[in-house]
A and B are shown apart, each in its own frame.
Chain A
Amino acid sequence: AQSVTQPDIHITVSEGASLELRCNYSYGATPYLFWYVQSPGQGLQLLLKYFSGDTLVQGIKGFEAEFKRSQSSFNLRKPSVHWSDAAEYFCAVVPSGTYKYIFGTGTRLKVLA
């Protein structure tokens, strides 16, 4: 079945440590890919997106993501996490031929001081 998977429901890292949030999708053709962040009680803020071209995408707040076609993955990374990065992170996919988002289940990030 077509799906978007974020394997880690919760992740806890120490402030200053590196971070990688995983996102895998199961669609035949390469979809459009997005990462969003949501603070409690807030809407979604776009961190970065991938449509085509360079597979390493730079986003806001020091985040980057790498698209790996062979692994059907679009993992989000940050070299040094700040306490303010604590939030919920959603990977979203727009399958080829559609315009609807398919969201992953989200990863809740906790940052230890």
Chain B
Amino acid sequence: GAVVSQHPSRVICKSGTSVKIECRSLDFQATTMFWYRQFPKQSLMLMATSNEGSKATYEQGVEKDKFLINHASLTLSTLTVTSAHPEDSSFYICSAREPPQGTSGYEQYFGPGTRLTVT
């Protein structure tokens, strides 16, 4: 149980275009999803937290107009990188958590990640 998928796994786009990454919880309802960015050989950096049906909360320094997050349902969140530039190239990982119930709501389930390359 508790499987999270991401699509696509890899994407190459041209500079100036937009790209959308999907994150799905396959076998549970995720009230909260998280988007992380990971640079090569570095740790995960939280970009934003999205709650179903409400606006995402962005971490300090993350441009919300560049990284649009939508959490339209309890099983799907999307990250759209708008007007992508080469410096946006990175590994993007999403995670999801179940509704808080005891300690279960504190564990995050991670997707396999999406490698974005902007040329």
Contact = CB atoms under 8 A, between A and B. Distances in A.
Interface of A: 32, 34, 36, 41-46, 49, 51-52, 90, 94, 99-101, 103-106, 108
A41 B95 CA distance: 16
Interface of B: 4, 6, 32, 34, 41-44, 46, 49, 91, 93, 95, 97, 100, 103, 105-108, 110-113, 115
B103 A103 contact: no
A94 B42 CA distance: 19
A34 B107 contact: yes
Given A32-B106, A46-B107, A51-B106, A103 B43 contact: yes
A90 B38 CA distance: 12
Nearest to B2: A46
A36 B34 CA distance: 16
A46 B41 CA distance: 19
Nearest to A32: B106
B48 to A, nearest CB: 11
B24 to A, nearest CB: 13
B106 A99 contact: yes
A99 B111 contact: no
A108 B97 CA distance: 26
A10 B15 CA distance: 35
B93 A44 contact: yes
Given A41-B115, A42-B112, A43-B111, A99 B105 contact: yes
B58 to A, nearest CB: 13
Contacts of B42: 105-106
Nearest to A52: B103
